[in-house]
Amino acid sequence: MIGHWLNRQLQVWRRTAVDDGYGGQTSTRVRQPDDVRAKVDQPSATERLLAAQTNSHHTHSIYLMPDADVRRGDELHDESTGQQWRVLAVVAPSTARYRKADAELIQGEGEPDG
């Protein structure tokens, strides 16, 4: 298990369709009831090369518990640092020790690079 490496608590925000009152729907993000424990890493050189070759915006690898309810398209927010990531893909190894979310850092307007 990788539980002792997961040193951050992240909020999970998921896109949900909401009735607009006129017969249609709008899309909004809703915070999920359970936060997830995570470890946020920079991707390896190989992962960065693969992302560049596929025109992906993979900026971080986020490691999660194997049962974490995180899906492609979710946003993960770290309330303590203000950082936010958009999940591009979620994968797991052949043995269920962890899940890894390939994610893109969402940089707020006016924030410095990094």
Residue 101 located in a structural domain: yes
Number of domains forming the structure of the chain: 1
pLDDT recorded at residue 46: 80
pLDDT tens profile 54-71: 777 778 999 999 999 999
Q: Report whether 27 contacts 15 (CB < 8 A).
A: yes
Residue 112 located in a structural domain: no
Q: Which structural domain, as residue segments, surrounds residue 47?
A: 3-17+25-105
pLDDT recorded at residue 35: 97
The enclosing domain of 99 has a CATH number of 2.40.10.270
Residue 110 located in a structural domain: no
Residue 99 located in a structural domain: yes
Long-range contacts from 105-111, C-beta under 8 angstroms, 24+ separation? 105/59, 105/60, 106/75, 108/82, 108/84
Residue 43 located in a structural domain: yes
> For the chain, what percent of residues have pLDDT higher than 70?
92
Residue 111 located in a structural domain: no
pLDDT tens profile 79-97: 999 999 999 999 988 888 9
Residue 114 located in a structural domain: no
